[in-house]
Structure 1
Amino acid sequence: MRWKLGLTLASAFFAAQLQAKNGPIVTIESGKIQGAAETDASPIRIFRGIPFAIPPVGDLRWRAPQPVSGWSGIRPATEFGPRCMQQPLFSDMMFRSAVPSEDCLYLNIWTPAKLGRSPQARLPVLMYVYGGGFITGDSSEKRYDGAALARHGIVVVTINYRLGVFGFLAHPELTAESPHHSSGNYGLLDQVAALAWVKRNIAAFGGDPSHITIGGESAGSMSVSGLMASPLSRGDIAGAIGESGALMQKLTPPSRVEAEQKGAAFARTIGAPTLAALRTLSADTLLAAQGKAKDMPFYAVIDGYFLTESPSVTFSSGKAAHVPLLVGSNSQEASGTAVFGNGAPTVASYRAGLRRALGDKADEVFALYPARTDADVLPAATALASDDFLALPTWKWFDLQRRTGAPTYYYYFTRVRPRLVSDTSGNALPWGAVHSAEIEYALGNLDTNPLYAWTNDDRKVSATMSAYFSNFIKTGNPNGGTLPVWSNASLNPAKIRRQVIDVVTYGAAFHDQTRYEAAESLLYMH
């Protein structure tokens, strides 16, 4: 008996050693998966390439995501799944997935919890949605790596969703076959499915299914605003983070009928006028056609299912998720050259650019973004271009949520990113913090991006911003420790403050609120 007991203990020991070597095993609704340790010394466990829906290929192309079929045995979860079909458009994106594919509905999890048969931890969860204009991006991108936030006691999830023509094609025949009489938002429905999957399964990774914060940047931020508004997802959210973008103002989605008309025209142009013909086309053929369709937007749609109305209406009526919101934008979301052109920034070139773009509204807009001297032109034109691109819609989202009384925090990121390591030109750095520059700082991932010559000041900014994000994910409030106090937005517009995030971080009166209100009325209220 003693011999048998010794053999049993030895077997258990070697089995444990084998599991430690090969990675942790977790049981989820569809079967067992085996992840990996970040390093031998790290408590972080990583599960990559977990399917949250079956591949949307063949007859499932342009259908809502379908539940995963179960598997027997142990499925490896050590490699990122394929990224969704896309053209290589953004050079600063560093993907770790091997290939693009229509078979792309996978997610990744970083957890600091001790995993076992029934993990006791119930840690806060962040589900992060990538940016890329709804036409590119991937959950494997280095900037979105979840290890840094996981080390702060957070379970981090990054998800894939269909892009471009595969994720956002509306068509009358697609609407007709839909049980919800909708089409066009397949990429957003992927996000809904991923959120639901996280809610059902995240406890196995030590996460709290009742404490899921959703976050994203650019198109990911727009997605977060949509998930807060959608009746399909707004009840599953504990908090939200939006970095530069919202489905509001000029970014308000078109109606389903308008999107269907454009989708049908696109299909006729590529010689596939019927849905059956479209589904016979190869993924590469469709991707090539997307690249040539310069006037065909692949974008969110007010489809009557994911979005039943304009998101601004949902927020203003108080129907959106009534949860804490941390949101903000960067000081150079767009370049001032978009206004005054490629020549020197002079008052004359600035006024000429305004007249070209705005006609008889040029003088009124100039009064909102004045430039008395040539030296004033670059900051004024940059502010105008940035507001028109993303800052105004982002502010609108903030303002509508603030008015509901939900805890709401606004940041203004001004840290100018250092030059590329390979840049020996000596050219001047951008005037402000360019679009997407905050991602590495906010997620604590400077070291994942070796392209830039990060300094100690950059690390200081990252420590501050990532601590704000971490606190917010945990408590719905970014404050804590020795961080500069960040005020919750007041219901009184005159008392609203925003947090300026840079080497010196501080709260400041939000004077741009008045300008935003005037610009909204002038530019978008027709």
Structure 2
Amino acid sequence: MARWPQWLSCALLLLLAACSAPVPQERVAEQALELRSADGPLRGGVLDGVAVFKNIPYAAPPVGALRWRPPAPVQPWQEPREARRYGNDCWQNRKSWDRAMSAQPMSEDCLYLNVWTPLPLRGDKLLPVMVWIHGGAYASGSGSSPLTVGDRLARRGVVLVTLNYRLGRFGFFAHPALSAESREGPLGNYGLMDQIAALHWVQRNIARFGGDPARVTIFGESAGGDAVHQLMLAPPARGLFAAAISQSGGGRALLPRLREDQPDLPSAQTLGQRFAQRAGVHGEDAAALRALPAATVLGDLSLIEWDRQAWTAVCIDGQLVQGDVLEGYAAARQAHVPLLLGSNGDELGALPRFVLRAMNQLLTPRFGAQLPQLIAAYPSAEAYERNLSSDFGFVEPARRIARHASARQPVFLYRYDYVPQAQRGKWRGAPHASDVAYIFGYPEAADADVSEQDRAQASLMGELWTAFARQTQPAAAQATPWPAYQRDDDRVYEISAQGTRLLPAGAPWLEAIARYAQPRAP
């Protein structure tokens, strides 16, 4: 049976395509600026008062014998390394219709990050740091996306870091042959290991770029938002960041276990064995797996092939990932740092009606005999059809996590529902990922026709997010005060074209989802 996470991933890729527009090309600084990192000297550049250093290695290239191993240390260098252009993206299947994708070459040699920092660099007054983790269903995207250029966010007084991490089977893969090599170390979740390695790089290096290693905020959207939750719950990531932002990060994805098959969910190793057999590798031959061509490992992650037998992402390995996200927050296993999280007003509503119906049908077994009560909780059959998948996958999990976490740390819950002026009358609300370009200050990446209100909205979003990074309290001069979420008060901070306001976070259908949804289909 097809399952929620895979359908969601496909749907979100379609939605991103529908929302994409021509985006700015990479700007390369002509004025050079040199800086020495802990591993060697870098030759970056200056653009409009912001220092830019790109293509900085944070781990050794995971190629050859290092494929499907934890990230290895960088080999130091002596001569200045050119750092004015982006490096390789990690292997992925790009789609011609998705103009938000980077145009960089793709390679397994892709573990690089980029830094934007305001000038002048001052060692006596270190700035807060924001580390962006891109989305893309753990199968696409990069730190060099034109939507997430960091100069405008950096001008708000933060040091901005974007990074690549291994994707698809390169980043999330398990097989008995690999497990036999490393009985004690972490396995399977190499993309998450990359993110942790990048955060270690930040701790070792960011003060040289004017950033404060004690004030690091991780933030990400979609799969990047899920990665934020995974890092919040991962013991090896503890102490590497001081605050977190999860945008449309969900929390309901059911994760396979590394080695143990479940009645309705094959283990990551079983999935890996199935792939290996299709690729012609039989038995426990790790060398043969690592010798497979990159194109074979990548495969064609199309809508037809995208299922658990073709590809998987995060698995429960017992070390980095100890369980499902909602279970982790319910057990208070998360880092007790300030957390900002939320969802968009119409996450999946821009999808065709037949796709929404199909997604809803995949969810109905999770409610069993209580399905009629769930349907009755919605104000209408149309509202149920339109919103169930969004509510189940994004809105209700964000509120649930806020309710769990607010007992132990400051939590700020939001709903982003700003519709660009050019899209009014076409969109009923803000679809998935439409917030990203606004947070980075590039509304023209979301729509070619940008209004003054759109630009003002981008300014508001940038100020709210950077204020949280500066003082762990989102605030802006032109915005309604944003108090921390309180379980008894149960309000969500809405951001829309009408302004900002506090609204009740609960609703009968959200309560019904929380009450009736089973962990897995019977």
Q: 1:256 to 1:196 in 2, by over 3 A?
A: same
Q: Is the 8 A contact 1:341 1:353 kept in 2?
A: no
Residues 260-316 of structure 1: per-residue CA shift (max 9 Å, x gap): 111111211221233222111111122126557432342111112211333334323
Partner secondary structure for residue 272 of structure 1: coil
Amino acid at match of 1:341: F
* Counterpart position of 2:255: 253
Q: Distance in 1 between matches of 2:239 and 2:360?
A: 48
1:294 counterpart = 2:306? yes
The question of 1:443 aligning with 2:452 is answered: no
What residue is the counterpart of 1:505 in the other structure?
Answer: 499
Which amino acid in 2 is paired with 1:86? Q
* Offset from partner CA, 1:96-143 (integer Å, 9 cap, x none): 45211100000000000423xx73331000000000000000101111
Say which of 440, 451, 455 aligns to 1:455.
451
Report how far residue 172 of structure 1 moved.
Answer: 1.6
Which residue is 2:10 aligned to?
none
The alpha-carbon distance between structure 1 residues 160 and 90, as it changes in their structure 2 partners (threshold 3 A), is: farther
Q: Which residue of 2 aligns with 1:67?
A: 73
Query: How many corresponding residue pairs?
Result: 480
Deviations 1:378-403 (A, max 9, x none): x4433212112332333333222223
**One-letter amino acid matched to 2:492:** R
> What is the match of residue 510 of structure 2?
516
1:474-517 deviation digits (Å, cap 9, x = unpaired): 1100024342111210142xx12111111222333324365423
For residues 418 and 480 of structure 1, what CA distance do their matches in structure 2 show? 22
Q: Which whole-Å CA distance do the structure 2 matches of 1:31 and 1:97 have between them?
A: 27
Unaligned regions of 5+ residues in structure 2, if any?
Answer: 1-28, 260-266
Map 1:126-525 → 2, pairs under 5 A: 126-178=130-182, 180-246=184-250, 248-249=251-252, 251-257=253-259, 258-273=267-282, 274-288=285-299, 293-296=305-308, 297-335=311-349, 341=354, 360-371=369-380, 377=382, 379-404=383-408, 406-419=409-422, 429-447=426-444, 449=445, 451-492=447-488, 495-512=489-506, 515-525=509-519
* Corresponding residue of 1:16: none
The residue number in structure 2 matching 1:3 is: none
| CA shift in 2, pair 1:350/1:185, >3 Å | closer
CA-CA distance at 1:324 after TM superposition:
0.8
Question: Which protein, 1 or 2, shows the higher relative CO under an 8 Å CA cutoff with sep ≥ 6?
Answer: 2
Of Structure 1 and Structure 2, the greater helix share is in: 1
Q: Secondary structure of 2:56's partner?
A: strand
- 1:100 matched to 2:97? The reply is no
CA distance in 2, matches of 1:459, 1:418: 10
- SS of the residue corresponding to residue 125 of structure 1 reads strand
Match of 2:406, SS state, is helix
Partner SS for 1:214: strand
- Tell me the CA shift for residue 337 of structure 1: 6.3
**Distance across 1 between alignment mates of 2:316 and 2:100:** 32
Label 1:514 to 1:468 Cα distance change in 2 as closer, same or farther (>3 A): farther
> Which residues of 2 match residues 45-84 of structure 1 at below 5 A?
45-84=51-90
Once superposed, what is the RMSD of the aligned Cα atoms? 2.8
Is 2:132–2:219's contact at 8 Å kept on the other side of the alignment? Answer: yes
Do the aligned residues in 2 keep the contact of 1:336 with 1:381 (CA within 8 Å)? Answer: no
Contact 2:398/2:413, CA 8 A, preserved across alignment: no
Report the 3-state secondary structure (helix = DSSP H, G, I; strand = E; otherwise coil) of the residue aligned with 1:478. coil
CA 1:166–1:525: 2 relative to 1, 3 Å = closer
Runs of at least 5 residues in structure 1 that lack an aligned partner in the other structure: 1-19, 421-426
1:35 match: 44
Task: Give the CA deviation at 1:471.
Answer: 0.5
- Aligned 8 A contact 1:171 1:263 in 2: yes
Distance in 2 between residues matched to 1:514 and 1:366, nearest whole Å: 10
